[in-house]
Amino acid sequence: MPKIGIDPGHGGSDPGAVAAGGLQEKDVTMAVGLALRQLLQEAGVEVVMSRTGDQDVSLADRAGLFNREQVDLIISLHVNSAGTPAASYVSTFILAPGGQAEKIARLIQSELVAATGWPDGGVREANFYILRETDAPAVLVEMGFISNPETAAQLATPAVQQALARAIFRGLAAYLGLKPNEPRDIQGHWAEAAIRQVMAAGIMSGYPDGTFRPDQNATRAELATALANLLARLNLIPTRAG
């Protein structure tokens, strides 16, 4: 099994970008990073985190840790910011085209766009430290713009944080040949595509026994939970229910 490095950007005295409403980039990257770690570990993947709490970790220490641990690939998590609140897209960065990092980035980028519905900022190149100074293929994900009030409000919700983690996981799973943790009874069902979409967005989930039961009637409680998750996804209520 591969060993993956997860780098939740910023932390400690460095909040990263800050939304007008006070949301800090370091908190979003930490939430998504922990959720992504759980998904990867459930799939049997060993994970190395550059930080697991709200602490200061230098860029050199992050790169050094991943190099010492000899991870197979690195995912660095960030949230973008701009001088105008109108900026709104999700993008994934690599150091240079043509390598394994580009393949990983394209798979992750596709899943992120599908899960969030945010405009596609594409795979871009940048000379970021974590991309340049690590031995393993590395990508840096900019999970929307915290300077955009609508995006920031969504990023503050557990539903969207989980959806981002699941999207990144699905991209990694496709690259690594892993079987995503998904219900075993949806393949070939006439609503398979729709079921995958609502699960990726964090609106509905399967049952603990590994099934979705697509032809079973929903209870009022299950319907209420799905609707509450949808409202959170649309930023009409502050947090995810259930």
Is 141 in contact with 211 (CB distance < 8 Å)? no
Which one from 42, 142, 150, 182 is the annotated catalytic residue? Answer: 142
pLDDT in tens, the chain (242 residues): 799 999 999 999 999 999 999 999 999 999 999 999 999 998 889 999 999 999 999 999 999 999 999 999 999 999 999 999 999 999 999 999 999 999 999 999 999 998 888 999 999 999 999 999 999 999 999 999 999 999 999 999 998 999 999 999 999 999 998 865 667 678 788 887 788 778 777 788 777 566 788 888 989 888 888 888 888 767 654 444 33
What pLDDT is stored for residue 106 in this prediction? 97
3-176 is a CATH 3.40.630.40 domain: yes
What pLDDT is stored for residue 198 in this prediction? 82
142 a catalytic residue: yes
Q: pTM of this prediction?
A: 0.78
Query: What is the b/e burial string over 217-235, where b = at least 16 CB atoms within 10 angstroms of the residue's CB?
Result: eeeeeeeebbebbbbbbeb
What pLDDT is stored for residue 209 in this prediction? 62
What pLDDT is stored for residue 241 in this prediction? 39
What pLDDT is stored for residue 206 in this prediction? 76
Compute the half-sphere exposure of residue 122: CA atoms within 13 Å on the CB side of its CA.
4
The length of the chain, given as a count of residues: 242
What gap in Å lies between CA 234 and CA 5, rounded to an integer? 31
> What is the Cα gyration radius of the chain?
18
Q: Give the strand order in the sheet containing 46-49.
A: 46-49, 3-8, 73-80, 138-145, 90-94, 120-125
Domain ranges of the chain: 3-176, 192-233
The three state secondary structure string of 65-80 is HHHHHCCCEEEEEEEE
